[in-house]
Amino acid sequence: MDIIQIKDRKFKPFIPEAVIKEKIKEVADRINRDMEGKNPLFISVLNGAFVFTADLMRMITIPCEVSFVKLASYQGTTSTGTIKEVMGINEDLTGRHIVIVEDIIDTGLTMKRMVESLGTRNPASVHVCTLLLKPDKLKVDLSVEYAVMEIPNDFIVGYGLDYDQQGRNLPDIYSVVE
């Protein structure tokens, strides 16, 4: 892993793919135990969570379903604070156990809005699973039951996360060089 350039920014190695997958397996094992017999519906937040969701789902051993929602709140390296639903959820959520799968939670505003929105659709439960959590940046009270890793408030790219739509295909996670 070397320093890489994406557009006008340089990024240094941060978390290797092997470590990411090892930590995902630990969370998947917890979900398998916690959701046994519940046939959870995993709702993956596009675009960033698609790589994480694919790896997580291959490690889930209980009966389950997966669906996708597309939200937008980022432009470049910062959140706009405005969240728009680009592609919604069509499934009936009544009585379902929902696990929202997100790539990264920083302020928590997007996730809090999504949890509240799903809660109006009468699910049995709503759980949050994120690859990365920035606890120092959280602005809202949010229960994140399944956080694969907590990280500092650095801008990162790779493993599905992007910088201006570039770098999602990198197998490792890199942090920006200031």
Give the N- to C-terminal CA distance of the chain in Å, as an integer. 18
Say if CB 41 and CB 99 are below 8 A apart: yes
Q: What is the DSSP letter of 47?
A: T
Q: Residue 106 catalytic?
A: yes
Say if CB 128 and CB 115 are below 8 A apart: yes
> Residues with Cβ < 8 Å from 79, sequence gap 6 or more?
73, 106, 107, 109, 110
Distance of CA 166 to the CA centre of its chain: 17
Tell me how many degrees the CA angle 80-101-58 measures, rounded to the nearest 5: 140
Please state, as a whole number, how many other Cβ atoms lie within 10 Å of the Cβ of residue 119. Answer: 13
Catalytic site residue from 55, 103, 106, 172? 106
d(CA 48, CA 111): 14
Catalytic positions, written as ranges = 106
